[in-house]
């Protein structure tokens, strides 16, 4: 080592990384907003097909024009910066355009679940203090009750048609982009606050993990009103790929669209995949190109993953919540898994994974083995709108978001969820993870899907009860199913009762366990 | 439209997107720093191979340990927050580790070009005010002259071995991450300032465009001291892929490593590709897997692109400068190009493209057809270190970075560079783009590479003169070459003189035209 002093020349640079906390941006720094993705796509992919909605197709140049005229119409209607704009529409070109037009006009997007009832719409619109409600023509009745100015799509389009496109003006990329009210299985819905920057980063992470390219064709099976479609309205555009609208989730329509538009990507909850995988049309046609499917929202069973792979789909398991802009966790495929059997791969993919490429850290908090999954990252919400108490409760004191989901971590760092904290069944002092029982039931060939909940029991405290939906031609008795489970997992985990029938679901396909608990 | 007032309920939300300019981060927001990529890779890909350096291989868990112990050693040596740490090393595991260890210890990385002479090293180390210089053992002589404390790799490693790994502490992600001194064909080198956030975003964009995955194997043909290797030291890690070190750019070694390590990706200037493409070993072995090659730094000729594709490589054309963290522009592949002939594709890929997925806007400024390429984005430098005048000159008043390169834009939005502003030859009042002449010369089968510069001429003002390097077995006369050019482009653009011989190059393979101009 030479003897020259380490700090002989520390003068000029000390200003650069000082402790003053000063923010420093370069002269050419640009805003981290999803709007930048449409700017880019319009510049580079102007003549590529941006969106297909029924028989209508728009290039990126046309989508950009439409977005800017819709934004001009919002301004014409009196929209002021920061105003919330509610949108009530299925997965149509309007809903997609609103993901750009509302923020372009300076507004905050409030996409509403089309399966809400009028009272719920009223409550959310009121809580969000929306200034305007835009709706699909068919949803006029649902919109009518809200205490807000409502505009049907044809009126909005008529107004927009006569206006000059609105140009983009500078915006605060740390400001609010969207509110997403959680479906809230209990209590009032909470308005999750999304920021421009967070959505920009999450959209980028999704484009990376889904491998979206200019030639990709994305089918809109996932509702855009759900977590803003996991940020795919922006991710697909970032890649210059094509959006294919799908107003209703219907297995026949999905199978048709996959073939007709040579779809390469879609996302769906496992319950939608179940519908597809065991539909009578399944297997009648095998795609000649890889179709990449992102699934999450509930843990898919290994049996479902195996079946999907047999049908020729490439499954990517994702995990997240409305509070995390959709999938903050991904199951990143590792090349060694190629060597495994389909069943072996399915077991590994059934795990949720770990942070996506732009997410922050992930930890299991609490018990040594089974802990609550807690996450950090710029793709975690700013908080719940006008609900400081709920926001405070959602984060730990040191700034980790509490998912409320319990998981274990494998040696390779991949997390597998065991259950929602509230879904754990405590029987005779032993914890039973309802998911484990559900997967054991779902491995029976007659079963389409299963949900297991706790029933209070004077002797055991709680016992597991299974609600089971069978495949169209599936036949099995409750005794046979209970034996099937006992052959696979600890006997005390087997359901004490099996109830057959259709499972109650939310709009996004989540089984509503609170309803099931009431009918045990 | 209903008659309810648009602003009946605009109260509670107006605080959210106000004009106060207040920065708002969520409780779980995380730092946008490339260090986060190593954290993630270590968490999820702990047992995957992170780096291969000769016979030595490190997993991500091992690389992480090494980085943290090296960081501890830097602190032990007295490093203070914001201190610049110069590193003088070829593409070794040390150089890679320094890309993490220096910022982890709170320092600013100053990677030095190993082909500089001792005087240049002294000048840069002095200008940057470096507190420490770490060097590869073989480069002790080059390091010795610098007025700074120097530490050879073995000493540093011996010190690190006895220390506990350093934990990561909070950092300012808008602060300085690295300085990169431009090779500066004229005048003193300038120290380009990179920020944590800019490098984070650029690394993400590179991982996306290069399609890096956990199974990717990246060969380090591009020097890490050049624009921090286009941010690939961080991008490859972000994907959980494997770095393969290559201390010297040698065509035989490259062909060997490609096969031995089943390399999937590398980046190189066109001049390196020329060496590979027409090397005697070329074609002796054809990879059974796709090898994706990013090329940039100078425009590759269509002839070269055609040849590389024939050899089985997938070429991605990129464009950028040290000031833009490497490639701010990419030629995004469009699926319709699959239908074209190899030659047709080569012509389209020979264009530079447009903004990468996370870059800001791009424009051509100046003349209607041929204009200067100007860019914006978070992957544009903060400025030149301690050089306010040069910084001011590099940006327009409205914050666009002036690349100094002239280009045209095709109808599809893809930009093709015609020349550096200073390389345009003005002959008889007509502009001649030297690149156009170079590509015409390079299309002759005997030519390896060509460089065309202006020679002052009493009659024409300037005339083009060509310097030509032939392939090992290439034979052609000056007259034949001039005829070859005249058959392809306007006669007045043909060189007035042809000089055969090896072209003088910078360490990164750029032809040094200022040297050629002196010998016309």
Q: Which of A17-21, A420-424, B173-177 has the highest mean pLDDT?
A: B173-177
CB B169 within 8 A of CB B104: no
Q: What's the CA gap between A389 and A333, in Å, rounded?
A: 39
CB A201 within 8 A of CB A35: no
* Signed CA dihedral, A186, A188, A194, A199: sign only: positive
* Direct distance between the N- and C-terminal alpha carbons of chain B, in angstroms, rounded to an integer: 76
- pLDDT category at A367 given cuts 50, 70, 90 is low
Q: What's the CA gap between B338 and B341, in Å, rounded?
A: 8
**Is the pLDDT score of A295 beyond 90?**
yes
Give the per-residue pLDDT at B513: 82
- Total domains in chain B come to 2
In a domain, B24, yes or no: no
3-state SS string for B432-488: ECHHHHHHHHHCCCCEEEEEEEEEEECCCEEEEEEEEEECCCCCCCHHHHHHHHHCC
* Signed CA dihedral, B373, B376, B378, B383: sign only: positive
Q: pLDDT tens digit string along B273-319? A: 999 999 988 888 888 999 999 998 777 888 899 999 999 999 999 99
Give the per-residue pLDDT at A9: 34
Which residue out of A1, A17, A79, A394 would a mutagenesis test of the B interface target, given it has the greatest number of B Cβ atoms within 10 Å?
A: A17
CATH of the domain at A79: 3.40.50.12780
Range of the domain at B481: 424-518
Give the per-residue pLDDT at B482: 93
Residue with tokens 């509110």: A179
**Is the pLDDT score of B7 beyond 60?**
no
Which of A110, A115, A105, A80 lies closest to A95, judged by CA? Answer: A110
- pLDDT category at B24 given cuts 50, 70, 90 is confident
DSSP B53-76: ETTEEEEHHHHHHHHHHHHHHHHH
Distance from CA of B16 to the nearest CA of A (A): 7
Out of A2, A28, A131, name the one closest to residue B377 (CB): A28
Mean pLDDT (chain B, rounded): 90
CB A196 within 8 A of CB A244: no
**Is the pLDDT score of A6 beyond 60?**
no
Distance from CA of A71 to the nearest CA of B (A): 16
Mean pLDDT (chain A, rounded): 90
Which of B137, B56, B96 lies closest to B220, judged by CA? Answer: B96
User: Which has more confidence, A486 or A93?
Assistant: A93
The DSSP 8-state label assigned to residue B78 in this structure reads T
Tokens at residue B12, please? 């509670």
Are residues B305 and B351 located together in one domain of the fold?
yes
Cα angle at A364 between A211 and B34, to 5 degrees?
45
- How confident is the model over B81-92, as a mean pLDDT? 97
Give the per-residue pLDDT at B491: 83
Looking from the CA of A237 toward its CB, the CA atoms found within 13 Å total: 31
Backbone angles phi, psi at B276, to 5 degrees: -70, -45
Q: pLDDT tens digit string along A195-227? A: 999 999 999 999 999 999 999 999 999 999 999
3-state SS string for A311-361: CCEEEEEEEEEHHHCEEEEECCCCHHHHHCCHHHHHHHHCCCEEECCCCCC
Tokens at residue A20, please? 């003053």
**Is the pLDDT score of B9 beyond 50?**
no
Are residues A366 and A458 located together in one domain of the fold?
no
Out of A12, A23, A175, name the one closest to residue B129 (CB): A12
Q: What's the CA gap between B158 and B141, in Å, rounded?
A: 21
Inter-chain residue contact B412 with A150, CB threshold 8 Å: no
Q: What's the CA gap between A103 and A214, in Å, rounded?
A: 24
Which of chain A's residues have a Cβ under 8 Å away from the Cβ of B48? Answer: 334
Q: pLDDT tens digit string along A111-161? A: 999 988 898 899 999 999 999 999 999 999 999 989 999 999 999 999 999
Are residues B360 and B341 located together in one domain of the fold?
yes
Give the per-residue pLDDT at A1: 44
**Is the pLDDT score of A508 beyond 70?**
no
CATH of the domain at A478: 3.30.300.30
Tokens at residue A313, please? 């789909």
Out of B40, B108, B359, name the one closest to residue A355 (CB): B40
CB B161 within 8 A of CB A18: no
Which of chain B's residues have a Cβ under 8 Å away from the Cβ of A414? Answer: 44
Which of A415, A434, A456 delimits the end of a domain?
A415
Give the per-residue pLDDT at B507: 65
Sequence-separated (6 or more) residues with CB below 8 Å from residue B24: A174, A175, A195, A382
Are residues A48 and A162 located together in one domain of the fold?
yes
Are residues B393 and B447 located together in one domain of the fold?
no
**Is the pLDDT score of A5 beyond 70?**
no
CB B194 within 8 A of CB B126: no
Q: What's the CA gap between B72 and B157, in Å, rounded?
A: 11
Residue with tokens 């997965």: A91
Inter-chain residue contact B148 with A240, CB threshold 8 Å: no
- pLDDT category at B1 given cuts 50, 70, 90 is very low
Q: What is the ipTM of this complex?
A: 0.87
Tokens at residue B472, please? 């090992």
In a domain, A344, yes or no: yes
The DSSP 8-state label assigned to residue B338 in this structure reads G
* Direct distance between the N- and C-terminal alpha carbons of chain A, in angstroms, rounded to an integer: 76
Which of chain B's residues have a Cβ under 8 Å away from the Cβ of A17? Answer: 81-82, 106, 108, 172, 175-176
Could you tell me whether strands B191-195 and B217-219 are parallel, antiparallel, or unpaired per DSSP bridges?
unpaired
Inter-chain residue contact B6 with A195, CB threshold 8 Å: no
Which of A508, A463, A503 lies closest to A482, judged by CA? Answer: A463
Give the per-residue pLDDT at B187: 64
Q: pLDDT tens digit string along B466-517? A: 999 999 889 999 999 999 999 888 888 899 999 999 988 876 667 888 788 8
**Of the listed ranges A34-48, A411-425, B328-342, B407-421, the one predicted with least confidence:** A411-425
**Of the listed ranges A96-105, A203-212, A423-432, the one predicted with least confidence:** A423-432
pTM of the model: 0.88
Which of B384, B415, B446 delimits the end of a domain?
B415
Inter-chain residue contact B215 with A375, CB threshold 8 Å: no
Are residues B354 and B475 located together in one domain of the fold?
no
Tokens at residue B186, please? 């004229």
In a domain, A500, yes or no: yes
**Is the pLDDT score of B455 beyond 60?**
yes
User: Which has more confidence, B279 or B433?
Assistant: B279
Inter-chain residue contact A175 with B24, CB threshold 8 Å: yes
**Is the pLDDT score of A20 beyond 50?**
no
Q: pLDDT tens digit string along B101-133? A: 999 999 999 999 998 889 889 999 999 999 999
The DSSP 8-state label assigned to residue B504 in this structure reads P
Looking from the CA of B501 toward its CB, the CA atoms found within 13 Å total: 11
In a domain, A277, yes or no: yes
CA distances from B81 to B101, B106, B152, B172 (A): 13, 5, 22, 11
In a domain, A12, yes or no: no
CA distances from A273 to A40, A309, B434 (A): 33, 11, 58
Q: pLDDT tens digit string along A77-98? A: 999 999 999 999 999 999 999 9
Cα angle at B371 between B368 and B374, to 5 degrees?
130
Chain A to chain B, count of Cβ pairs less than 8 Å apart? 297
In a domain, B352, yes or no: yes
Inter-chain residue contact A28 with B375, CB threshold 8 Å: yes
Which residue out of B26, B210, B388 would a mutagenesis test of the A interface target, given it has the greatest number of A Cβ atoms within 10 Å?
A: B26
In a domain, B20, yes or no: no
By the 10 Å C-beta count (0-12 exposed, 13-18 middle, 19+ buried), A265 is classed as buried
Are residues B250 and B330 located together in one domain of the fold?
yes
Out of A24, A79, A357, name the one closest to residue B204 (CB): A357
Are residues A439 and A378 located together in one domain of the fold?
no
Element holding B51 (H helix, E strand):
strand B49-53
Inter-chain residue contact B32 with A78, CB threshold 8 Å: no
Phi-psi region of B453 (alpha: psi -120 to 50; beta: other; left: phi over 0): beta
**Is the pLDDT score of A4 beyond 70?**
no
Which residue out of A22, A27, A142, A338 would a mutagenesis test of the B interface target, given it has the greatest number of B Cβ atoms within 10 Å?
A: A27
Residue with tokens 């490693």: B157
CB A131 within 8 A of CB A77: no
Which of chain A's residues have a Cβ under 8 Å away from the Cβ of B208? Answer: 204, 207-208
Are residues A398 and A430 located together in one domain of the fold?
no
CB A237 within 8 A of CB A50: yes
Which of A415, A448, A479 delimits the end of a domain?
A415
Q: pLDDT tens digit string along A226-239? A: 999 999 999 999 99
Are residues B381 and B514 located together in one domain of the fold?
no
- pLDDT category at B16 given cuts 50, 70, 90 is very low
CB B206 within 8 A of CB B326: yes
DSSP A376-387: -STTS-S-BTT-
* Signed CA dihedral, A494, A497, A501, A507: sign only: negative
CB B419 within 8 A of CB B371: no
- How confident is the model over A285-304, as a mean pLDDT? 89
Are residues A410 and A482 located together in one domain of the fold?
no
Inter-chain residue contact B28 with A386, CB threshold 8 Å: no
Inter-chain residue contact A147 with B8, CB threshold 8 Å: yes
Share of chain A above pLDDT 90, in %: 70
Share of chain B above pLDDT 90, in %: 69
Looking from the CA of A251 toward its CB, the CA atoms found within 13 Å total: 13
Which of A87, A94, A89, A92 lies closest to A67, judged by CA? Answer: A94
Are residues B382 and B452 located together in one domain of the fold?
no
Which of B227, B249, B113 lies closest to B178, judged by CA? Answer: B227
Sequence-separated (6 or more) residues with CB below 8 Å from residue A351: A317, A331, A410, A414, A415, A416
Q: What's the CA gap between B98 and B233, in Å, rounded?
A: 10
Which of B387, B370, B398 lies closest to B323, judged by CA? Answer: B387
Which of A81, A47, A86 lies closest to A64, judged by CA? Answer: A47
**Of the listed ranges A131-145, A180-194, A456-470, the one predicted with least confidence:** A180-194
In a domain, A133, yes or no: yes
Write down the H helix ranges in B150-195: 153-161
Distance from CA of B347 to the nearest CA of A (A): 17
**Is the pLDDT score of A47 beyond 50?**
yes
Q: Is B452 helix (H, G, I), strand (E, B) or coil?
A: strand
Which residue out of B6, B11, B28, B195 would a mutagenesis test of the A interface target, given it has the greatest number of A Cβ atoms within 10 Å?
A: B28
Return the bridge partners of B226, or none: none
């Amino acid at each position: 080592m030479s003897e020259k002093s380490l700090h002989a020349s520390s003068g000029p640079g000390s200003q650069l990384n000082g402790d003053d906390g000063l923010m420093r941006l370069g002269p050419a720094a640009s805003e981290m907003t999803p709007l930048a993705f449409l700017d880019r796509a319009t510049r580079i992919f102007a003549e590529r097909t941006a969106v297909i909605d029924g028989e209508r197709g728009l290039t990126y140049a046309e989508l950009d024009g439409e977005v800017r005229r819709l934004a001009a119409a919002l301004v014409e209607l009196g929209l002021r910066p920061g105003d919330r704009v509610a949108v009530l529409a299925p997965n149509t070109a309007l809903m997609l355009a609103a993901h750009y037009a509302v923020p372009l006009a300076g507004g905050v997007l409030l996409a509403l679940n089309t399966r809400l009832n009028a009272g719920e719409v009223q409550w959310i619109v009121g809580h969000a203090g929306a200034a305007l409600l835009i709706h699909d023509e068919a949803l006029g009745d649902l919109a009518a009750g809200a205490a807000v100015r409502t505009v049907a799509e044809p009126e909005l389009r008529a107004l927009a048609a006569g206006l000059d496109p609105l140009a983009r003006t500078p915006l605060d990329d740390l400001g609010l982009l969207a509110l997403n009210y959680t479906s809230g299985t209990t209590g009032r819905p909470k308005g999750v606050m999304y920021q421009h920057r967070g959505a920009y980063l999450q959209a980028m992470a999704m484009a990376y993990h889904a491998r979206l390219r200019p030639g990709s064709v994305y089918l809109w099976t996932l509702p855009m009103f759900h977590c803003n479609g996991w940020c795919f309205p922006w991710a697909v555009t970032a890649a210059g790929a094509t959006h294919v609208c799908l107003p209703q989730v219907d297995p026949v329509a999905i199978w048709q669209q996959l073939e007709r538009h040579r779809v390469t990507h879609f996302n769906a909850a496992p319950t939608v995949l179940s519908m597809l995988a065991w539909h009578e049309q399944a297997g009648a046609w095998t795609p000649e190109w890889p179709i990449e499917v992102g699934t999450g929202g509930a843990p898919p069973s290994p049996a479902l993953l195996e079946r999907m792979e047999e049908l020729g789909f490439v499954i990517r398991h994702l995990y997240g919540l409305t509070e995390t802009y959709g999938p903050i966790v991904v199951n990143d495929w590792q090349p060694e898994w190629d060597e495994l059997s389909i069943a072996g791969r399915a077991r590994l993919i059934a795990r949720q994974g770990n942070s996506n490429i732009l997410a922050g850290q992930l930890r299991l908090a609490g018990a040594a083995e089974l802990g609550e999954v807690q996450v950090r990252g710029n793709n975690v919400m700013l908080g719940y709108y006008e609900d400081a108490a709920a926001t405070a409760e959602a984060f730990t004191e040191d700034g980790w978001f509490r998912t409320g989901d319990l998981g274990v971590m494998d040696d390779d760092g991949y997390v597998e969820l065991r259950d929602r904290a509230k879904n754990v069944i405590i029987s005779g002092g032993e914890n039973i993870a309802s998911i484990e029982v559900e997967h054991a039931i779902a491995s029976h060939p007659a079963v389409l899907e299963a949900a297991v909940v706790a029933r209070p029991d004077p002797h055991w405290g709680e016992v597991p009860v299974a609600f089971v939906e069978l495949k169209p031609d599936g036949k099995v008795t409750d005794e046979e199913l209970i034996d099937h489970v006992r052959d696979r997992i600890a006997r005390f985990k087997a359901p004490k009762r099996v109830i057959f029938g259709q499972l109650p679901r939310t709009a996004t396909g989540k089984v509503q366990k609170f309803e099931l608990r009431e009918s045990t």
